[in-house]
Amino acid sequence: MSRELTSTDWRRLTHSIRAGECVLFLGPDASCLDGRTLVASLVAELDGDRDSDLHWAAQTFAEKGYDQFDLIDKAQNFYQALDHRTSDFHRDLAALPFHLCVQTSPDRFMANAFADRRDKVPTEAYFHLRGGVRLIGGGSLGALPEPSAACPLVFGLHGSAENGDSLVLTENDVLAFIVRLVRDKVILPPNLLRLIKQAKTLLFIGFGFHSWYQRLILYVLRGVDSHKHWNSLALEGSRFFSLPDHQQTATYYDKEHRISFSHLSFTEFARELRQRYEVQAAERAPD
């Protein structure tokens, strides 16, 4: 159940971004290298099936006799080797005035794309399952600035490769994360949670709505008043649209959360979104 974006959809999205009322959510399928998602490459390193979910592959790896250190070390080395990488997809998104990006992959592609721009100074923070919210590079959370177009925040829900113990890797890690999420509810600083709840548009790219726990994350972070926002958009890949129940899933989110699903190429979408935004910005600029 994928639909084409209308001119109204594009205008609504660019308007929300310009007003600072759109929160960007990047999932595990949003970061690619050499035509392959990072998560698929990591799964391969864990000797998992190429179609396996990362958490299942990590759980299987751990059950083959490897200890937790082996798993964390492999994942940490994988992501740290890409510590300074980004992509054209992320650069196109970074050219837009997003205030907040929430991601479930510990890569730094989005933060690096923001940092590559002269007009932006990003902040990176992450949730540590056993230690609350932390800043990448250290520092006090009390110094965490209010996110803005000039100082966007990239927040890692599933930890950071900077701290291997923070990574949500196995199925058991996911369950522990969900328990903490449901029990404590607030795993984001209050000002960030407020931005998510008040956002008029949520833009999900490669978020992985085929996974049940991603749906729960949205419900807890967004709250029960999600019907108050404008239409939101979720771009998903072939894995989602090949599932036999994807139409039911899309219908549920359309009715309950006003989220439409699209099978557009992530790269082409980001490029067109940037082009449309820049054209509109030029038209609005004073002579």
Please name each of the domains of the chain with its CATH number. 7-33+87-162+171-284 (3.40.50.1220)
Please give the biggest Cα pair distance in the chain: 68
Residue type (1 letter), 131:
G
Spatial distance between the Cα atoms of 240 and 188, rounded to a whole number of angstroms = 27
Q: Which two tokens stand for residue 113?
A: 């794309």
* pLDDT at 198 (0 to 100): 85
Q: Are 61 and 72 in contact (CB under 8 A)?
A: no
To the nearest whole number, what is the mean pLDDT of the chain? 87
* pLDDT at 47 (0 to 100): 74
Q: pLDDT tens-digit profile of 231-243?
A: 899 999 878 787 7
Q: Name the one residue in this structure whose structure tokens are 């790896």.
A: 61
Q: pLDDT tens-digit profile of 169-181?
A: 998 999 888 888 7
* pLDDT at 166 (0 to 100): 92
Residue 58: how many CA atoms within 13 Å on its side-chain side?
Answer: 24
Q: Which two tokens stand for residue 225?
A: 């008043």
Spatial distance between the Cα atoms of 133 and 130, rounded to a whole number of angstroms = 9
Q: CA 265 → CA 37, 69, 74, 111, 243, distances in Å?
A: 13, 37, 30, 21, 18
Q: Are 62 and 139 in contact (CB under 8 A)?
A: no
Spatial distance between the Cα atoms of 152 and 122, rounded to a whole number of angstroms = 5
Spatial distance between the Cα atoms of 46 and 30, rounded to a whole number of angstroms = 20
Q: Are 157 and 213 in contact (CB under 8 A)?
A: no
* pLDDT at 1 (0 to 100): 54
**Burial profile 75-88: b = 16 or more Cβ within 10 angstroms, e = fewer:** bbebbeebeebbbe
* pLDDT at 67 (0 to 100): 83
Neighbours of 8 (CB within 10 A): 9
What is the 3-state composition of the chain as percent helix, strand, coil, each rounded to the nearest 5?
45, 15, 40
All residue ranges of the chain with pLDDT < 50 are none
Model's pTM, two decimal places?
0.92
Q: Which two tokens stand for residue 14?
A: 């660019």
* pLDDT at 247 (0 to 100): 83
